[in-house]
Structure 1
Amino acid sequence: METFVRFIQAEYIGDADLQNLHHYKYGAIDKSPVANYILKYYWNWAVEFFPRWMAPNLITLCGLGFVFINVLSVIYWISDLVGPGPHFPVGLWLYSTFDNVDGKQARRTGTSSPLGELFDHGCDALSCSFGAVVLAAALGLGHTYYAAAFLLLIIVAFYMSTWEEYHTGVLYLGYFNGPTEGVLGACILMIISAIKGPGLWMDELRNVMNPVPEFIPPDWCLVDLILIFVFFSVVALHIPNSIYNVYIACRDENKSFRIAVSQLFTIALYSVCGYLWISSPHSYILKDKHFILFTLTVGVVFGRIATKIILAHLTKKPFPMYTVLLVPLFIGAVLTNIPKFFNAAPILSSTSEYYYLLAYFGFAVVAYTRWAIYIINKFCEFLNINCLRIPFSVKKDD
C-alpha cells in the first residue's frame, strides 16, 4: 500500500512541492568549443529575429514542431526507412536553433522560470526519440536492429544526463555532446544522403574506400563505423562521466551513491522490455515494418519518464522510479516472449500485435498530454505566469 501511495504521489504535485520552486536556480555547463566559439554568435544573432512578445516556451514548442514535420515527412515519403526520398536537415537545424534561442529569449524578456526548464527538457526528451526515426531514414537503415540500436543509444544518453542533473543540479554538456556536435553531425549526414542517396551508408567499405584499413573488416559498411562511433561516445565517454559526476555529488552531499545507481533501474527496465519485444521471434514489429509506430510510442513513454525526473529535480521530490506508461511496454515484452521461453503457441498474431501497439500509442499520447497539461497549469497557477504568452506588463517594462 505504501508503494502504491508513493507511486500516486510521484505522478502529481502538491502545494508543498510547488513551494520548492522558490529555490529554483538554473545550472548548466557547456564545454563544447563549437557552441562557445562558433554557434554562440549565431544564436545571439538569431534571437533578434524573434519579437519580444513571443514567449520562450512558444519558441520551444515551434522548434518541436519542426521535428514533428520531419517525422510526418518520413512517414509519408520514406515509410520503409530506406528511401530514396527527401531528407530535411533544415528541420533538424531549425529545431536546434529554436532550442538554443528560447533560453536567450527568456533572459532577453525577463521571463525565465522553472516552467521554462521543464518545458524545454520535456520537448527535448520527445525530440531525441522522434529524431531517431528521421536519422534512420537518412541513413537508409530500414526497420532493422540498426535503427533500434541508434534509438536506444540516443535515449540512454539523454536519460543519463537527466539523472545526472537531478543529483548535481547542473546540466553538464561535455566537449563533444549530443545537442551540439550530435545535431550538427546528423545534419551533415542528412545533407550527404540528400546528395548521394541513403544507399551510400549501406555500401561495403571495399566499395567506398581503397584501401580499407587492416583493422576494419572490408565487408563492413559506413553505417557500422557510425554506429561504433556513437556507441563509443555514449558507453565509453558519456555514461562513465555521468556516473562519476553523480558519485562526486553524492559524496559531497553525504548521500547514498548506491541508491542513486539503483535509480538506473528505470532505464534498464525500459531498454530490456523494448529489446525483448522487438527481438522476439514472435514479434512482427520489424517484419511488418511497424518500427516507426513502435519508436513514436516508446518515445512518448520516454518523454514522460525524463520529464518526471526534471519535475522531481525542480520540486525537490524523490526520484521517480516508475510511470504507468511502462506497464504496456512490459506486457508487450511478456506476451511476445511467452511462446519463446515456455514453448507455447504464439499469443499475438501480426494483426493483434499491431492493434495492441496502436492502442498503446493512443494511450501513451492521451495519458502524457493530460499529465503535461496538468503539470503546466499547476506551475502557471503557482508562478502566476502564462505558458505560451508573455504578459503585457513584462513586455512593456522590458
Structure 2
Amino acid sequence: MSNLDQSDLRPVIQLGQGDPSAFPCFQTTSVAEDAVEVALRSNEFNGYAPTVGLFTARKAVAEYLSKDLKDHKLSPDDVYLTIGSSQAIELIISALSCPKSNILLPRPGYPMYEAHAAVSNIEVRHFDLIPEKDWEIDLDEVEDLADENTVAIVIINPGNPCGNVFKYQHLKKIAEIAKKLGILIIADEVYNHLTFGNNPFIPMGNFSSIAPVITVDSISKRWIVPGWRLGWLVTNDPQGILKKHGIIDSIIGFLNISSDPVTFIQGALPQILEKTTDFFFSKITNILRKSADVCYDSLEDIPCITCYNKPEGSMFIMVKLDVSMLEDVFDDVDFCTKMAKEESVVILPGVAVGLKNWLRISFAIEPESLLEGLGCRMKEFCKRHAKKK
C-alpha cells in the first residue's frame, strides 16, 4: 500500500484477494457461529485430535460430499482433515513426490501448486486453458506433456482464476485421458456449488471409476470463513489403486508429523455441514451472480480489456489486457501498480497466475464498490492512459 497516492482520500477497493469475509455483504451463517460456540463451550474439544481428524467430523464430510456422488459413497476412512485446503495441497504434492516425477498444472492456475511442487522437487508442466472455449483444458496438450514420470493432473473446478465451470462431458474426457496416461486426478473443488450460470457444479469424484480422484476442499469459501482453517483431502478410489501404490500410507505418514486443524472447529463441523440452510447458500450465490454481472458489464465497456466469458462460478474473472492501446503502461504488472497508485484500486496482474498481460479480478465484494472500482475508476484510468489517435 506504500505506493498509493496519499492525497487520494477515496477508500481503497480491493479486487485482488479471495477473502470475501472482509466485506459486509459476505458474512457466514449463524448456524456455523453457533456450532463453534457450542463446541468450544462443551469442553469436549480442548485436546489433541487424531492426526487424520476427528471421526465425527470425517463422517460428516463423507456424508456431505456423498450427496453429489452417483455411483459410490464415501466413508470416513476416505477423508483426511487438514489446515485449510492449503495443507491439503501440500499433503498430496508431498505424497506424490518421487525421483524424476512431474505434475501437470493448469495455466492460468493457483500458484500454491507450483510452490509446493518446487519444495517437493516435482517438475511442473503446464497445460493451457482455452479462453475461447470457456476455459476448457487443452486435452491434446495434456497428452503431449505427459510421460512415464507424470504422477497427476490438477484441475480447479469451479475455476480459480477463470470463473468457469466445467461441463459433464469435459470432466469425463479428463478422466478418460488420466486413465489412458495412468495418472491420478487432483480435483481442487474449494469453490464447489458457488455457481450461478448455466453449468451446475459436478464433482470430479463422479468419474473415479475411470481414474482415481483426490479431492481438495474446505469450508473457507462456501461458508465465508477462510480464517477458520479447516479443509480436507478426500480419496475417491473405488478400485483401491491409491492404496495399492502406497499413496494412502504416504498421506497418513505426512499427517502423523504435521500440525492438525483446531479441534473445536473440527468438533463444530458436523453441525455446520448438516444444519446450514439452502437460504444461506442461495443468498451468497445471488450476491456473486449480481457482482459477476456488474463486473462483466463494466469491463466490457473498457476498450483495452477483452472479456472472453462471463463468470459462472467461483469469485474471479480473467480478462485480457491490450497494452498497445495504452500510453506509458508497459505490461500487466505496470498496469496494476499504476491503478493502485492513481485510483486506489487493487487487482492482481495475470503474470501472478501464469498469463502475462492478463488481469485476475475478484468480484467477491459489494456490487456498488465493484461498480465504482471498475465502471468508474478503471474506466477513467484506461481513458486517461489511452493512446491518442
TM-score normalised by L of structure 1: 0.28
Q: Higher strand fraction: Structure 1 or Structure 2?
A: 2
TM-score normalised by L of structure 2: 0.29
